[in-house]
Amino acid sequence: MAELITGLRAGRVRANLERVREEIAQAGADPATVQVLAAVKYVAADELPVLAEAGIELVGENRAQELVAKASAHPGLFTWDFIGHLQSRKVRQIVPHVRLIHSVSSESALEQLARHASPATEILIEVNVAGELGKSGIAAGELPGYLERSPVPVAGLMTMPPLAARPQDSRPHFAALRELAAAHGLRELSMGTSQDYVVAVQEGATIIRLGSTLYR
């Protein structure tokens, strides 16, 4: 298990955030249209105010219990998204704390959203664009049915491409997600991490999920 990140410095994080925004502009996108989400799975709860001081406004957590604990410990400090694998039994816990759930990909999750979603709840459907066996996400062909059955607004799509040696190797998967979203009139594309976010932005990402590139 990875160690928690401690000893963050606001100046360093702010400089990294500014560099990311410059790279977004260099990739041909308006930095104002690409949301930088700080993934805080490995950030200790007492380090979170440092991120706020550095100018981070949007954060994402992978684990329901940790999201509830961190959001409750720092009320109003950030906008929170849930970005990890979504267990349907955890929907009730996370809904009061999040703006978006990035990882809806099961009928049971839709059922729990129907029971527990608030009027403000929105989701992203996770799509397994590469068709990897054993990986979370629906097949592209299943999307129309999910859109029809979703009890809450679907703001867009999310994907995690296969592990790749080069950022460019992720481009076809990001392009496929963009085309799928466009075909269904969906506005948000959550794609790209510290390894490949520049390519994701070039392919239309509206939310990039960054960890190490912000913290190191």
Convert the pLDDT of each residue in 15-46 to its tens digit.
999 999 999 999 999 999 999 999 999 999 99
- Predicted pLDDT of residue 173: 97
CATH for the stretch 10-215? 3.20.20.10
Whether residue 1 has pLDDT greater than 80: no
Residue 145 Cα distances to 17, 74, 148, 174, angstroms: 38, 38, 5, 22
Using pLDDT thresholds of 50, 70 and 90, give the confidence band for residue 56.
very high
User: Which of helix, strand or coil describes residue 214?
Assistant: helix
Predicted pLDDT at 4: 87
Residue-wise pLDDT for 109-123, tens only, equals 999 999 999 999 999
Backbone torsion region of residue 134, taken as left when φ is above 0, otherwise alpha when ψ lies between -120 and 50, otherwise beta: left
User: Beta strand 122-126 with 154-158: parallel, antiparallel or unpaired?
Assistant: parallel
The residues, ordered by sequence, that sit 6+ positions from 162 with a Cβ below 8 Å of its Cβ are 130, 132, 169, 170, 173
Q: Could you give phi then psi for residue 36, rounded to 5 degrees?
A: -95, 110
Q: Which residues contact 182 (CB under 8 A, 6 or more apart)?
A: none
Q: pLDDT-based confidence at 8, cuts 50/70/90?
A: very high
What distance in Å separates the CA atoms of residue 153 and residue 156, rounded to the nearest whole number?
Answer: 9
pLDDT in tens, 77-95: 999 999 999 999 999 999 9
Mean pLDDT value across the chain: 96
All residues at 6 or more sequence positions from 13 whose CB lies less than 8 Å from its CB, including other chains: 50, 51, 54, 55, 56, 214, 215
Name the residue ranges covered by the structural domains of the chain.
Answer: 10-215
Percent of the chain exceeding pLDDT 70 equals 99
Cross-strand pairs, 142: none
> How high is the pLDDT of residue 200?
98
Average pLDDT over residues 125-147: 95
Which region among 1-15, 85-99, 178-192 has the lowest average model confidence (pLDDT)? 1-15
Q: What is the pTM of this model?
A: 0.96
Distance CA 214, CA 208 (A): 12
Q: What's residue 209's pLDDT?
A: 98
Interval 197-213 mean pLDDT: 98
The reported pLDDT for the residue numbered 134 is 84
pLDDT for 207 equals: 98
